[in-house]
A and B are shown apart, each in its own frame.
Chain A
Amino acid sequence: MKSRDEGLIFERSRPGKTGYSLPPLDVPEKVAIPEELRRGAIDGETEVSEVDVARHFTRLSRMNLGIEDGLYPLGSCTMKHNPRINEEMARLPGFAASHPYAPESTSQGNLALMWRLERILAELTGLARVTLTPCAGAQGELAGILMIRKALEKQGNPRKYVLIPDSAHGTNPATASFAGYQVKELASNANGRLDLHVLEEAMTDDVAALMMTVPNTLGIFERRIGDIAEIVHRKGGFLYGDGANFNAFVGLATPGRMGIDVMHMNLHKTFSTPHGGGGPGAGPVAVSEKLAPHMPVPTVERREDGSFHLDADRPESIGRLRSFSSQFGVLVRALSYILSYGEEIGEVARNAVLNANYIRARLADLYHLKYDAPTMHEVVFSDKRQAEYGVHNGDIAKRLMDFGFPPPTVSFPLIVPGALMIEPTETEGKPELDIFVEAMRTIAREAREKPEIFAGAPYTTPVRRVDEVRAAKNPILRWQARR
């Protein structure tokens, strides 16, 4: 990473410079739009050359850390290597230059790909059908809860509440609320799992669903999930599985068998799509037979002659969640990734879990583990032992950057004060893990021996510690021309 010296692209702008080229207009110039509906010059827009643009974005890129710079230990966010072949496949002209409203007879490749991906995801989840529509995991959650709502409405009562364990992602309560439900939070037990007595008590006739992450955000598998499903089903509710952590057991166990009725998958996490600085992803949702009629439109269907079509005429559907059909480009990447693993897809989970347990074993003598349960694909330490020296998880996060690593997740789960949630993913090998472990061990020693250095960290990044309070108090959200 280099030090910061790059201005805004707008500040490079000089009148008369151009970077674009278009062919000369080959028809008469004619804009038949009344003057009052038109704008003048686009004041403030850039006037720069292509070299300016190339250098600007290259220099900016050097101020980012990506997964190919080294291990990216962000728990629950699953930052893994993204095979480049996926990128090329998504850019095949037949995919990238195809239009969502081209005649179906001319889009059979796209439709076949979607159908094939749906069948694979249904197989891996052990559920009947999969809607590929949702734009992201959070929208998948909404689709899932709305399908539950619809199924309950059909029985005569959509019910009032959704139960959500305190170890859940923040999107879960927000989603339930956007589907018109009130949220009841369930406290985890001392083992970091759902307490079945708490659930029994909360699970009334007014509860539409229990929304549960498996493994949960502590990286712990809910081993009594069969019993949990039974309690929920006995009262006529649905078990919603937040599949953000599906990479912990994909190919090895199936949610459908566990009693999960509906589960979204973050394709970008379990399979792979580059995180891209925050999107795009895709959040398909797998559902049981009972919920399938309520899937959002459109669905992909196969005709008797083997041809495919999009079906938007589904009277019991929750409706439409977006324009067009799906995050298609992300679906291509997911299928490309799945084909590369084929029937060995379970190796993803095996290696992800091995790597997390290795980190746990190498750091457990220095970092506190609030819960002693077995670790799946991610391990959540706390800063309890470092806090004795006045060093907290946020300080550890900032200091880790000086060792060239992005920090672990430190913002949740809320039930672990001072959480350090580490997820190495399956695409790290032992040498990389060892480098990270050594950095964490050095930091633990620094916390004991020279805790004062944490206040100024990081020291080696393009900018030093950023004043986020100032940004929020006096928001500057765009560049303005000096007058």
Chain B
Amino acid sequence: MKFLPSSDDERAEMLAAIGVGSLEELFGDVPAEFRTTRKPPIGRPLSEIEVRRDLGSVSARNAHARSHAHFLGAGCYHHYVPAIADQTLYREEWLSSYTPYQPEISQGTLQSIFEWQTHLAILTGMEVSNASLYEGATALVEALLMASRLAKGRHRAVLSKNIHPEYLETVRTYFGNLHFEVVEVDDGDLAGACDSQTFAVAVQSPDFFGRVRGWKEARDAAATCGAMAIGVVAEAISLALLSPPGDAGLDIACGEARSLGVPMSYGAPALGFLACRDAHKRQMPGRLAGETVDAEGRRAFCLTLSTREQHIRREKATSNICTNQGLMALASNVYLSLMGKAGLRETAVQCASKSEYLKEKIAAVPGYAIATGGPTFNEFAVRGPKPAPEIVAALAEKGILAGVPLSTWFPEREREFLVAVTEMNTKAEMDVYAAELSRIR
């Protein structure tokens, strides 16, 4: 087998050194009744050429952003990933190194995490970020759990209904077994839903329907009852143009940073983030890289504040998460470093401008209307003349992935679909989009 490097002679020498006659003798502790008697029905081992053919033909059955004009978002956006971001990941010292528990052989990973933490703190307007979390929905869960520790003794979380529905579902799964109450309300009712038992108020901006709401409602509602204000960001590119949660006085920012250098990959692996005020850093879950010195006084980095974590605190840990998204955070660090101050802003302005263009084009198509009221960043809901899945299916036939039907989560919105526009969309394909839409009545 090509990935197993020992020759038969070497294996025989090793067995002799161990003092056994056969490999099977090493499995003496596994009772015979549990042993498999036949080979698993997976087929013979495939050569690299055959693996390539097999998975190549599987992948070719998908429509995707390089085969179709792409307008899908809803928490997963198609942004440009510069060549250097992915190519950096191919260096084996990045790709295959371990979690940096031993700092002396992990300075590269540790410094990269430290830099990513800095980027995310800057973008969110917060003071501290952790080293990344699984993805957006679980990042919101961790933010809420963190808030519950900070506002000890309280048991109620107030969440905006306009947060990504799958984030809300995830919160319900986690909190369902932890004796917390989760209340989901319209944004206008946030303050009214707060009471002395409320530990957190969370809103998303731009919200799931694309509307830029800002953070004022959450901040003010939280302030009335002494709760933590949490800002959720599902489209991190928006942070380059919009007032970030930290600047608006929120306590915790969380969400999804995949837009910053990580491909869509059918939704994952993604890149969750969590940032907060300096005063709250000891309640932050997951990994953190910190600056220190080595024995010779030179700058060095290591993981720190780990006394909050599962490997030390076991059942009293702040979270059961045991990892972060190291490689994705590296890609994101490369992306953010390269795009920098000007590139991030330019990307965000292009997203917003192109989105406005398509919005106007669609609004002019008879039978169609923009269903998201108020300002939007790069995404908006469209109401069409017939059920959205039909419209989307018809446009897919024309080489356009047109949008995400809202009926998936909101049965009453059967004629609406979410349309996202990024710097990757061209004027020409938006013109075709509008023209094709006008043929569906």
**Interface pair B55/A332, CB less than 8 Å apart:** yes
Which of chain B's residues 247-295 have a Cβ closer than 8 Å to chain A?
A: 247, 256, 263-270, 281, 287-295
Q: What 1/0 mask marks residues of chain B from 70 to 103 whose CB sits below 8 Å from any chain A CB?
A: 1010111010101010101111111111111111
Query: Is B321 touching A275 in the complex (CB atoms < 8 A)?
Result: no
Verify if A389 is at the interface (C-beta below 8 Å from B).
Answer: no
Q: How many A-B residue pairs have CB under 8 A?
A: 693
Digitize B102-123: 1 where CB-to-A-CB distance is under 8 Å, 0 elsewhere: 1111111101111101110111
Number of B interface residues in the complex (CB < 8 A): 212
Interface flags, B39-62, vs A, CB<8A=1, else 0: 111111110101110111011111
Q: Are A464 and B296 in contact (CB under 8 A)?
A: yes
Per a CB cutoff under 8 Å, which of A102, A407, A411, A458 touches B311?
A: A411
CA distance A106 to B243 in the complex (A): 37
Residues in B neighbouring A48, C-beta threshold 8 A: 337-338, 340
Measured in the bound complex, the distance between the Cα atoms of B392 and A107 in whole Å is 14
Q: Could you write out 23 A-B pairs with CB less than 8 Å apart?
A: A34-B375, A39-B241, A45-B336, A50-B338, A64-B97, A64-B105, A67-B96, A93-B59, A95-B266, A99-B264, A113-B55, A170-B310, A178-B174, A252-B27, A322-B268, A332-B55, A343-B42, A353-B23, A427-B3, A468-B103, A471-B292, A478-B121, A479-B115
Residue of B111, B127, B167, B240 contacting most chain A CB atoms (<10 Å): B111
By a CB distance below 8 angstroms, the chain A residues around B177 are 146, 149, 178-180
Please indicate the chain B residues that have their CB under 8 angstroms from the CB of A252 in the complex.
27, 30, 35-36
Cβ distance B316 to chain A, nearest Cβ, rounded Å: 7
**CB-nearest residue of chain B to A88:** B52
With A36-B214, A37-B214, A471-B290 known as contacts, the answer to whether A112 contacts B61 (CB < 8 A) is yes
Q: Which residues of A contact B35 (CB under 8 A)?
A: 252-253
A329 to B, closest residue via Cβ: B265
B341 adjacent to A45 (CB under 8 Å) = yes
Give CA–CA (A4, B131) in the complex, Å: 22
Query: Quick one: which of A98, A221, A341 contacts B62, CB cutoff 8 A?
Result: A98
Tell me, yes or no, whether B26 is within 8 Å of chain A by CB.
Answer: yes
Q: Given A64-B105, A354-B23: A90 and B404 within 8 A (CB)? A: no
Cβ of A344: which chain B residues have Cβ within 8 Å of it?
A: 1, 39, 44-45
Q: Do residues B18 and A277 form an inter-chain contact, with CB atoms below 8 A?
A: no
A99-110 vs B, Cβ < 8 Å mask (1 yes, 0 no) = 111110111111
Q: Which of A55-63, A233-241, A284-292, A438-446 lies on the face that meets chain B?
A: A55-63
A463, B104: Cβ atoms under 8 Å? Answer: yes
Minimum CB–CB distance from A30 to chain B (whole Å) comes to: 5
Is B135 an interface position by the 8 A CB rule? Answer: yes
Q: Which residue of B lies closest to A342 (CB)?
A: B45
Contacts of B60 in A (CB 8 A): 94, 109
State A39–B7 Cα separation when bound (angstroms): 63
A154 at the interface (CB under 8 A from B): no
Query: A101 contacts B76, CB within 8 Å?
Result: yes
Q: In the bound complex, how far is the Cα of B266 from the Cα of A25, in angstroms?
A: 28
Are B266 and A110 in contact, CB atoms less than 8 angstroms apart?
A: yes
- Are the C-beta atoms of B304 and A407 separated by less than 8 Å? no
| Chain B residues within an 8 Å CB radius of A61 | 88, 91, 93-94, 108
Q: A82-B96, A278-B326 are in contact. Are A462 and B104 (CB under 8 A)?
A: yes
Given contacts A102-B72, A109-B59, contact A277 B106 (CB under 8 A): yes
Q: Chain B residues near A456 (CB, 8 Å)?
A: 295
Of A73-81, A198-206, A380-388, the segment with at least 4 beta carbons within 8 Å of chain B is A73-81
Within 8 Å CB of A398, what residues of B? 104
CB within 8 Å of B: which of A33-59? Answer: 33-34, 36-39, 41-48, 50, 53-54, 56-58
Interchain CA distance A33-B290 in the complex, whole Å: 37
Task: Assess whether B58 is in contact with A343, with CB atoms less than 8 Å apart.
Answer: no
Contacts of B95 in A (CB 8 A): 66, 82, 87, 274, 276
Chain B residues with Cβ below 8 Å from A89 are 51-52, 55
Q: Complex Cα distance A64/B100, Å?
A: 9
Known: A26-B427, A93-B66, A170-B311. A251 touches B98 (CB 8 A): no
Contact B84 A429 (CB under 8 A): no
Cβ-defined contact, A478 with B107, below 8 A: no
- Asked if B104 and A458 sit within 8 Å, CB to CB, the answer is yes
10 closest A-B pairs by CB: A324-B267, A94-B59, A276-B327, A20-B343, A109-B61, A100-B267, A429-B5, A319-B173, A278-B326, A106-B63
Known contacts being A64-B93, A102-B63, A340-B2, is A53 close to B108, with CB within 8 Å? no
How far apart are B58's CB and chain A's nearest CB, in angstroms? 5
User: Which residues A336-363 have CB closer than 8 A to chain B?
Assistant: 336, 338-348, 350-351, 353-355, 357-358, 360-362
Q: Is B19 an interface residue (CB 8 A)?
A: yes
Chain A residue numbers with a CB within 8 Å of B347 are 22
Residue contact B58 to A113, C-beta cutoff 8 Å? yes
Are B106 and A319 touching (Cβ within 8 A)? no
CB pair A180–B178 under 8 Å, yes or no, is yes
> Among B9-17, B146-154, B181-189, which stretch is in contact with chain A?
B9-17
Whether B11 lies near A354 (C-beta < 8 A) is: yes
- Quick check: is B28 within 8 A (CB to CB) of the other chain? yes
Q: Which residues of B contact A280 (CB under 8 A)?
A: 134, 268-269, 323, 325-328
Answer whether residue B408 sits at the interface, using C-beta atoms and an 8 A cutoff: yes
Q: Is the CB of B62 within 8 A of A102?
A: yes
**Set of chain B residues within 8 Å of A340, measured between Cβ atoms:** 2-3, 45-46, 48, 51
Which of chain A's residues has its CB closest to B313's CB?
A174
CB pair A471 B42 closer than 8 Å: no
Produce 1/0 per residue, A427-471, CB < 8 A to B.
Answer: 111101100000000000000000000001010011111111011
Q: Find chain A residues with CB under 8 A from B428 CB.
A: 26
- Is A226 a contact of B33 with CB atoms below 8 Å? yes
A189 contacts the other chain (Cβ, under 8 Å)? no
Known: A25-B349, A253-B30, A277-B97. 18 other contacts (CB 8 A): A25-B353, A27-B354, A30-B353, A60-B108, A65-B97, A69-B92, A72-B98, A87-B90, A101-B72, A106-B396, A180-B178, A251-B36, A251-B39, A275-B326, A357-B26, A456-B295, A463-B107, A475-B281
User: A174 to B114, Cβ gap below 8 A?
Assistant: no
CA distance A288 to B64 in the complex (A): 35
Assuming the A-B contacts A109-B59, A479-B118, are A462 and B107 also in contact, with contact meaning beta carbons closer than 8 angstroms in the complex?
yes
A176 cross-chain contacts in B, Cβ below 8 A: 315
Checking A33, A174, A275, A429 against B212 with a beta-carbon cut-off of 8 angstroms, the contacting residue is A33
Nearest B residue (CB) for A328: B266
Known A323-B137, A357-B26; contact A275-B42, beta-carbon cutoff 8 A: no
B342 touches A278 (CB 8 A): no
Q: Does the CB pair B76–A338 fall under 8 Å?
A: no
A103: contacting residue among B104, B214, B244, B396, CB under 8 A:
B396
Q: A358 to B107, Cβ gap below 8 A?
A: no
